């Protein structure tokens, strides 16, 4: 790209806000739906946090990681849904540049952390099923806290770099984003500069926070499947599979939608499809997680009944 072109862009006035166009149709219906979904997400994930903290039968590493995931999901959803509802209620679809940067940072940071946390949960199942005699000594409370803290710590530096690279670009107009929130692809499409470094950073981030954790999950479940198939009892095999089924379901939903958004080649209609897919992994999956982990888990259902029985 010619230096003269870049200088001419830099001389233009830069935008100081974006307009989110994801709400053009049925704003009242969307507001009602988003409000109901947000309240359900907060209630469902709060119940998991309370139940797994309160019930003595659930004081195991698996439920510690589930509690961490539910707390993360509440934060993750709160990055996007309240702003979306505020825009719908007020009719003002604008978001300032600094608010857009903050929203994107927390979205990327918490999303990358969830990728690693799902990998940690797969490792926990690998230890429990493949190395049961060493499970409790290996997965001590100190190790549990370290794995969760590490998932946050690994994600932080790269996201700071990513946000710095994106929002140091000049945005000269137009400033309309056909999306529900500030995500990397639609924001980068508005930048008036050479995007080679940014695209390289996005590619690197996809490898670090999507491909590598997913590969670790896949490797864990290959070993888990081999171990389960060697169990002579059909009941034992079924019980072992049932402890993994909820996590596998969440992994398929989360990684499947995220990979479709961030790893698929660009095409004329991909931006519109990605807009709705991004709602799936930021809104629908946090909504489904409490149902997936409770309806498919006898221990969690029993603990929830005990808690509700005490409360009412």
Residue 5 domain flag:
no
Residue pair 184/104 in contact by the 8 Å Cβ criterion? yes
What is the arithmetic mean of pLDDT over 135-141? Answer: 91
- How many domains is the chain built from? 1
pLDDT band at 22 (very low <50, low <70, confident <90, very high): confident
Asked whether residue 129 is domain-assigned, the answer is: yes
Q: Which residue has the higher pLDDT, 239 or 155?
A: 155
Q: Apex CA 87: angle with CA 188 and CA 179, to 5°?
A: 30
Domain of 192, in residue numbers: 15-302
Query: Both ends of the chain: CA-CA distance in Å?
Result: 68
Percent of the chain with pLDDT over 70: 91
The whole-number average pLDDT for the span 33-40 is: 94
- Strand partners of residue 95: 18
Rg of the chain in Å (alpha carbons) = 22
Q: Is residue 3 part of a domain?
A: no
Rounded to the nearest integer, the mean pLDDT of the chain is 86
208-241 per-residue burial string, b: 16 or more CB within 10 A, e: under 16: bbbeebbebbeebbeebeebbeeeeeeeeeeebb
Q: For the chain, what is the total number of helices (H) and then of strands (E)?
A: 13, 3
Q: Which residues contact 209 (CB under 8 A, 6 or more apart)?
A: 111, 112, 115, 116, 155, 158
The answer as to whether 134 is a domain residue is yes
β strands within the chain, DSSP E: 17-20, 94-96, 176-177
Please check whether residue 269 lies inside any domain of the structure. Answer: yes
Strand (E) or helix (H) holding 266? none
> In the 8-state DSSP scheme, what is residue 134?
G
Top mean-pLDDT range of 156-165, 236-245, 258-267 = 156-165
The answer to whether residue 211 sits within a structural domain is yes
156 domain residue, yes or no: yes
pLDDT-derived band at 123, boundaries 50, 70, 90:
very high
Contact 170, 141 (CB under 8 A): no
Position 4 in a domain = no
Q: Is the pLDDT of residue 120 over 50?
A: yes
pLDDT 10s digits, 203-235: 999 899 999 999 999 999 999 999 999 888 888
User: What CATH number corresponds to the domain at position 156?
Assistant: 1.20.1070.10
* Separation CA 278–CA 100 (nearest Å): 16
pLDDT tens-digit readout, 249-306: 899 988 888 887 777 666 655 667 777 778 888 888 899 888 888 766 777 778 878 8
């Amino acid at each position: 790209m010619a230096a003269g072109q870049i200088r001419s862009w830099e001389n233009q006035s830069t935008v100081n806000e974006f307009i989110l166009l994801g709400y053009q149709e049925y704003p009242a219906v969307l507001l009602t739906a988003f409000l109901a979904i947000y309240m359900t997400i907060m209630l469902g994930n709060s119940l998991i946090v309370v139940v797994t903290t309160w019930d003595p039968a659930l004081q195991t590493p698996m439920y510690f990681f589930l509690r961490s995931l539910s707390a993360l999901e509440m934060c993750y959803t709160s990055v996007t849904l309240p702003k979306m509802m505020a825009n719908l209620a007020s009719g003002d679809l604008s978001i300032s540049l600094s608010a857009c940067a903050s929203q994107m940072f927390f979205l990327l940071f918490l999303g990358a952390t969830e990728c690693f946390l799902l990998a940690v949960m797969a490792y926990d199942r690998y230890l429990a099923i493949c190395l049961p005699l060493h499970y409790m000594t290996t997965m001590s409370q100190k190790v549990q806290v370290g794995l969760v803290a590490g998932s946050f710590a690994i994600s932080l530096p790269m996201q700071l770099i990513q946000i710095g690279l994106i929002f140091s670009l000049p945005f000269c107009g137009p400033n309309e984003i056909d999306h529900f929130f500030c995500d990397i692809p639609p924001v980068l499409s508005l930048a008036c500069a050479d995007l080679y470094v940014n695209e390289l950073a996005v590619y690197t981030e996809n490898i670090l926070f999507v491909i590598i954790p997913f590969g670790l999950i896949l490797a864990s479940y290959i070993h888990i499947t081999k171990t389960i198939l060697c169990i002579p009892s059909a009941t034992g095999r079924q019980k072992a599979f049932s402890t993994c089924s909820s996590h596998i379901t969440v992994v398929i939903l989360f990684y499947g939608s995220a990979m479709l958004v961030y790893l698929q080649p660009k095409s004329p209609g991909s931006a519109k499809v990605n807009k709705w897919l991004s709602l799936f992994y930021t809104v629908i999956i946090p909504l489904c997680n409490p149902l997936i982990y409770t309806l498919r888990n006898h221990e969690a259902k029993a603990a929830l009944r005990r808690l509700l029985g005490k409360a009412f």
